[in-house]
Amino acid sequence: MTATEATAAHPATDEGPVLRCTDLSKRFGGVHALEKVSFEVRRGEVLALAGDNGAGKSTLIKTISGVHRPDEGEIRYKGERVVLDNPRHAREIGIETIYQDLALADNLDVGANVFLGREPTTRLFGLERLDRPKMRAVAHDVLETLDIDIPERKLHEPVRNLSGGQRQAVAIGRAIYWNAELLIMDEPTAALGVPEQRKVKELILRLKTQNVAIIFISHNLVDIFDVSDRIMVLRRGIKAGERRPSETDHNEVVRLMIGG
């Protein structure tokens, strides 16, 4: 698979939602982290997930990325019921998750990070070895396709030398290279400066045009209103409401978050 193929738009032919969750519940001891939460997300759509600390946002994305098994409820991916055994299984079917810590390997370069755990190899004098030129070429292509501005020389340095926004971009690029059809991002802009926040939001909008479905967690209502098509609010594990940005405002979303 080439980067060009990998970053090609997903066909918008099947009209059903990419993900449909019905009555998902998850308890930790006595804590009801999720109570009968139902929602769906379609291709080319950004669903923002809002809620106060402890509302259940991370628990929800962990149940759709194979980290947690829900105690109850159903997950349908591209129309089919799935039971996700682990995060690898979720990635194999096209659900890529970018966690807040990004899970980049700081000491490796961009190419090695794009392929982390899935490295291509080549044979030289009968010995199997990592195909570094391929990793670099793909890293270059992916970043170029997404219009991510990282200087060529930086591609060959450990990613710890990149800015927060560039690192976020590498994580997004990796997800896209591996053909994410559903991309889940937990607080992607939280640790970034203003110009980098803008860049990440541009990337999200670009992925929308490639028909990727995106679930985006944020505490920042400005970001949520900037990029989302729908906003789902969780409060103490319960779905408190769902709104289109055009039919609501910050005040109402905050009221849904805190109740009363």
Ligand X SMILES: Nc1ncnc2c1ncn2[C@@H]1O[C@H](COP(=O)(O)OP(=O)(O)OP(=O)(O)O)[C@@H](O)[C@H]1O
Query: Which residues of the shown chain bind Mg ion in the complex (CB under 5 A)?
Result: 58
* Residue 258 binds ligand X, judged by CB under 6 A: no
Stretch that binds ligand X, among 47-55, 117-125, 138-146, 221-229 (CB under 6 A): 47-55
Among Mg ion, ligand X, none, the one that 17 touches (CB under a kind-dependent 5 to 8 A) is none
Q: Which does 59 bind (CB under 5 to 8 A by kind): Mg ion, ligand X, none?
A: ligand X
The least distance separating ligand X from the CB of residue 80, rounded to whole angstroms, comes to: 26
Complex with Mg ion: residue 62 or 201, whichever CB lies closer: 62
At 231, is the secondary structure helix, strand, or coil? Answer: strand
Q: What is the maximum span of the chain, computed from C-alpha positions, in angstroms? A: 71
Considering the complex, state which of residue 155 and residue 185 has its C-beta at the smaller distance from ligand X: 185
Residue in 44, 50, 59, 215 binding ligand X, rule: CB under 6 A: 59
d(CA 245, CA 236): 22
Distance of CA 115 to the CA centre of its chain: 17
> Distance (Å, rounded) from C-alpha 41 to C-alpha 178?
20
Strands, E, within the chain: which ranges? 19-28, 31-41, 46-51, 72-77, 80-81, 95-98, 121-124, 127-130, 182-186, 213-217, 230-235, 238-243
By the rule CB under 6 A, 44 interacts with ligand X: no
With vertex at residue 66, the alpha carbon angle to CA 65 and CA 69, rounded to the nearest 5 degrees, is 125
- Is the CB of 108 or the CB of 190 nearer to ligand X? 190
Question: Does position 53 bind ligand X by CB under 6 A?
Answer: yes
Q: Which of residues 7-36 bind ligand X (CB under 6 A)?
A: 28, 31, 33
Beta bridge partners of 183: 96, 214
Nearest to 184 by CA among 104, 66, 78: 66
In the list ligand X, Mg ion, none, the entry touching 218 (Cβ below 5 to 8 angstroms by class) is: none
240, 256 Cβ separation under 8 angstroms: yes
Residue 28 binds which one of Mg ion, ligand X, none, with CB within 5 to 8 A depending on kind? ligand X
- Member of 37, 55, 176, 182 binding ligand X (CB under 6 A): 55
Q: Which residues bind ligand X (CB under 6 A)?
A: 28, 31, 33, 51, 53-59
